[in-house]
Amino acid sequence: MRTIKIIFTVTFLIASAGFINFSESSANENSGADKITVSKDAKPSLTSVDFNDLGNMIASWYGPKFHGKLTANGEIYNQMALTAAHKELPFGTFLRITNIRNGKSVVVRINDRGPFIEGRDIDLSKGTALALGMIQRGVIRVKVEELSTSEQIYPVSLLN
């Protein structure tokens, strides 16, 4: 299972490095489907990923009220994206969040500031909360690890 998680993480990081571009399909405007293109100059390679333990934190989730509004880094908030808000971590930081109760983990990217309720350390998107199985509980204790690599990680570019 750990091998699968590492393969997923490396795949996610490669995609996040900008090797994959998502753009609307122009071939069939009525299809409504997105076309995925891979740059011919892309040279994917395996990158060593380290997980730096940041300790346990109290996590909550936020979603519907903020969906479609601007985040602190200027992105439009998508409640189903795998993102998170933290008061101090730099925007673009990738974290592996693990629900301590059930062992479910997900990799998120910091794109917002918060939470602004005392006693909470990190705010997760609704999509992240669903992946961790925490929707019903609302607030849980999570293990937080920062992902670091020997290479610079860039977010996937979304083209219009």
Q: What is the pLDDT of residues 56-95, one digit of tens each?
A: 999 999 988 999 999 999 999 999 999 999 999 999 999 9
Question: What pLDDT sits at residue 19?
Answer: 39
Question: What pLDDT sits at residue 116?
Answer: 93
Asked if 97 and 54 count as a contact pair (C-beta separation under 8 A), the reply is no
Output the pTM of the full model: 0.68
Average pLDDT for 36-51: 70
Question: What pLDDT sits at residue 97?
Answer: 98
Strand ranges (E), the chain: 20-24, 34-38, 49-62, 83-86, 94-99, 105-112, 122-125, 139-149, 157-158
How does pLDDT run across 135-156, given as a tens digit for each residue? 999 999 999 999 998 766 555 5
Average pLDDT for 98-123: 97
Does residue 83 belong to any structural domain of this protein?
Answer: yes
Confidence of residue 131 (pLDDT cuts 50, 70, 90): very high
Cα dist from 145 to 6, 21, 39, whole Å:
14, 27, 31
In a shared domain, residues 54 and 41? no
Does residue 159 belong to any structural domain of this protein?
Answer: no
Identify the CATH number of the domain in which residue 118 sits: 2.40.40.10
- Give the amino acid at 53: D
Does residue 13 belong to any structural domain of this protein?
Answer: yes
In a shared domain, residues 95 and 117? yes
In a shared domain, residues 75 and 135? yes
Number of domains forming the structure of the chain: 2
Question: What pLDDT sits at residue 7?
Answer: 52
CA distance 82 to 138: 16
Average pLDDT for 18-41: 47
| Backbone phi, psi, residue 130, to 5° | -65, -45
Question: What pLDDT sits at residue 2?
Answer: 55
In a shared domain, residues 37 and 68? no
Does residue 158 belong to any structural domain of this protein?
Answer: no
Supply the range of the domain harboring residue 14.
2-46
In a shared domain, residues 8 and 74? no
In a shared domain, residues 55 and 42? no
Question: What pLDDT sits at residue 45?
Answer: 63
In a shared domain, residues 15 and 79? no
